[in-house]
């Protein structure tokens, strides 16, 4: 029933009537995030539901689990039934498999309004995911308010048009797109996430994927140009001179002021012709400020980085294994297994089919390489082709539900058993939450995008 599957679930006889209360204590001698839920007839002076947790996070995860036992309507925004809720008599013991159970959302290619970002934090919490990696800047948009360099968000925060579909054959929307978060918006996002035991890891991408910043301050770039209206790898990169590095030190200082996360992303991906010194110096700057730099696996090629740098291994797991050898911590996010922008079926009618086929079964079958310094794994939602929260829902779910189980629950996995839990228990929860997931049988008619070209690999 429960998703992600707990370490153990022992049913007793019958059910109890629950008044909605929980007796909780932080008393469990277990790993961070672990908990035990005991449901039995209520004692005279207490609740029928007793939670013992190792820490506040464990207590929070126990609440998510009890909600699941209460049925899908527990996930609605307000109760729709009167009377007590029935819960099974049981004991559940549980603990997370990985410390980093992440999702990246690319809010640069398409802006996700703050309200929808908060909703995604709710959805992550339901799945016991605990890291939101926010990709805040790219060629197509700059989403972080800068007090010191306001043209970053004023000029870099919007573009006059967007490629519609894959760049090889797609047209243009001809419609302006933009948006940015104020620093206070992001403080609110961070605080909202913290209440759900989610850490927000921000990323400002350097020295590639920087056209939006270059549009705002042309002196930063090797060449000029406006905010990009195309997808793909842009050859224009940041200059590696002292004044550009200084500019970015100041921008990162503003970022550090908003985001308390120890880990801070500097990107570093797909920067052909980019100077490795740039990444090294920003990494050093972050380390000097007491933070841990985080970069995509290309940063392994720029020369020595602070050992505490976290590497996101996306072009497969090999780079991650190399990073481990060099003493880095690693987050696994191999595109073949966890790129949720990739098409969900080998069917031309999938909306804007890009990448390789990645079904929910493929995601569920992913086994991250296990090693001490593998912090965990992360699913990535790149948004070139996900231009609205509805499109994001379609790409994210139910694959993200399968991913949540991979990072929370220990192997072995039984895909048939997962499918039963998904269809009988979890999709109804997503329905109650109003998530417009891709039905297992294929897209609903209004989820199709006929005529918008993709580029299947």
- What are the residues binding ligand TNX (CB under 6 A)? 269-270, 296, 314, 339, 341, 355, 382, 384
In the bound complex, what is the minimum distance in angstroms from residue 382's beta carbon to ligand TNX?
Answer: 3
Q: How far is CA 105 from CA 294, 452, 453, in A?
A: 16, 23, 23
Residue 36 bridge partners (DSSP): 52, 93
Distance, CA of 77 to chain centre = 23
* Smallest distance, ligand TNX to C-beta of residue 67, A: 33
Q: Of 137 and 261, which has the nearer Cβ to ligand TNX?
A: 137
Residue pair 238/222 in contact (Cβ under 8 Å)? The answer is yes
Nearest to 337 by CA among 360, 320, 353, 318: 360
**Of 354, 434, 370, 437, the residue nearest 400 (C-alpha):** 437
> 329 or 341, CB closer to ligand TNX?
341
Active site residues: 138, 209, 270
State the nearest-atom distance from the C-beta of 320 to ligand TNX, in Å. Answer: 13
The per-residue b/e assignment along 379-406, b for 16 or more CB within 10 angstroms, e otherwise, is bbbbbbbbbebebbbbbbbbbbbbbbbb
The structure tokens listed for 2 are: 């429960």
With H, G, I as helix, E, B as strand and everything else as coil, classify residue 52.
Answer: strand
Nearer to ligand TNX, 384 or 405 (CB): 384
Question: With respect to ligand TNX, which residue has the nearer C-beta, 382 or 408?
Answer: 382
CA angle 207, 213, 214 (to 5 degrees): 85
CA separation for the pair 279, 244 (Å, rounded): 12
Nearer to ligand TNX, 188 or 270 (CB): 270
| 178 versus 265: smaller Cβ distance to ligand TNX | 265
CB 28, min distance to ligand TNX, A: 38
Angle at 38 between CA 37 and CA 42, to 5 degrees: 130
- Rounded to an integer, what distance in angstroms lies between the CA atom of residue 197 and that of residue 93? 19
CB 165 within 8 A of CB 352: yes
Q: Minimum distance from CB of 316 to ligand TNX (Å)?
A: 11
Q: Please, which residue, 52 or 269, has the CB nearer to ligand TNX? A: 269
Q: Token digits for 334?
A: 């191999």
Q: How far is the CB of 110 from ligand TNX (least distance, A)?
A: 11
Q: Please state, in angstroms and rounded to a whole number, the distance separating the CA atoms of residues 147 and 145.
A: 6
CB of 196 to ligand TNX, least distance (A): 26
**Half-sphere CA count of 120, side-chain side, radius 13 A:** 30
């Amino acid at each position: 029933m429960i998703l992600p599957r707990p370490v153990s679930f022992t049913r007793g006889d019958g059910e109890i009537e629950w008044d909605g209360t929980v007796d909780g204590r932080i008393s469990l001698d277990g790993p961070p995030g672990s908990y035990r839920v005991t449901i039995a007839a209520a004692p005279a002076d207490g609740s029928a539901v007793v939670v013992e947790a190792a820490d506040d996070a464990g207590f929070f995860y126990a609440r998510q689990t009890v909600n699941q036992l209460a049925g899908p309507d527990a996930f609605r925004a307000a109760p729709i039934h009167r009377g007590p809720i029935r819960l099974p008599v049981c004991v559940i013991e549980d603990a997370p498999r990985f410390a980093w159970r992440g999702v990246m959302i690319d809010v640069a290619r398409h802006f996700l309004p703050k309200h929808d970002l908060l909703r995604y934090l709710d959805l992550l919490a339901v799945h016991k995911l605990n890291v939101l990696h926010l990709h805040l800047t790219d060629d197509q948009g700059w989403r972080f308010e800068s007090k010191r360099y306001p043209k970053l968000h004023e000029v870099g925060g919007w573009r006059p048009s967007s490629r519609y579909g894959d760049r090889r054959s797609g047209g243009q929307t001809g419609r302006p797109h933009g948006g940015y978060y104020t620093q206070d918006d992001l403080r609110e996002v961070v605080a909202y996430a913290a209440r759900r035991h989610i850490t927000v890891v921000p990323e400002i991408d350097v020295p590639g994927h920087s056209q939006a910043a270059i549009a705002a301050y042309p002196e930063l770039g090797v060449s000029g140009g406006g905010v990009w209206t195309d997808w793909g790898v842009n050859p224009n990169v940041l200059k590696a001179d002292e004044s550009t590095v200084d500019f970015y030190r100041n921008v990162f200082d503003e970022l550090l002021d908003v985001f308390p996360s120890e880990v801070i992303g500097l990107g570093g991906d797909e920067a052909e012709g980019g100077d490795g010194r740039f990444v090294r110096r920003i990494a050093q700057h972050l380390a000097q400020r007491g933070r841990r730099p985080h970069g995509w696996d290309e940063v392994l090629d720029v020369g020595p980085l602070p050992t505490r740098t976290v590497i996101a291994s996306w072009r497969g797991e090999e780079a991650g294994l190399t990073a481990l050898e060099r003493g880095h911590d690693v987050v696994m996010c191999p595109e073949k297994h966890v790129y949720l922008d990739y098409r969900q079926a080998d069917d031309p009618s999938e909306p804007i089919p890009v990448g390789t086929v990645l079904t929910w079964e493929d995601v569920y079958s992913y086994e991250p390489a296990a090693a001490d310094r593998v912090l965990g794994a992360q699913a990535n939602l790149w948004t070139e082709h996900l231009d609205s929260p509805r499109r994001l829902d379609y790409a994210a779910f139910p694959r993200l539900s399968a991913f949540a189980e991979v990072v929370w629950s220990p192997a072995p996995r039984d895909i048939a058993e997962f499918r039963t839990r998904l269809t009988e228990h979890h999709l109804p929860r997503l329905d109650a939450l109003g998530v417009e997931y891709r039905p297992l049988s294929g897209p609903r008619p209004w989820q199709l995008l006929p005529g918008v070209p993709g580029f299947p690999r």
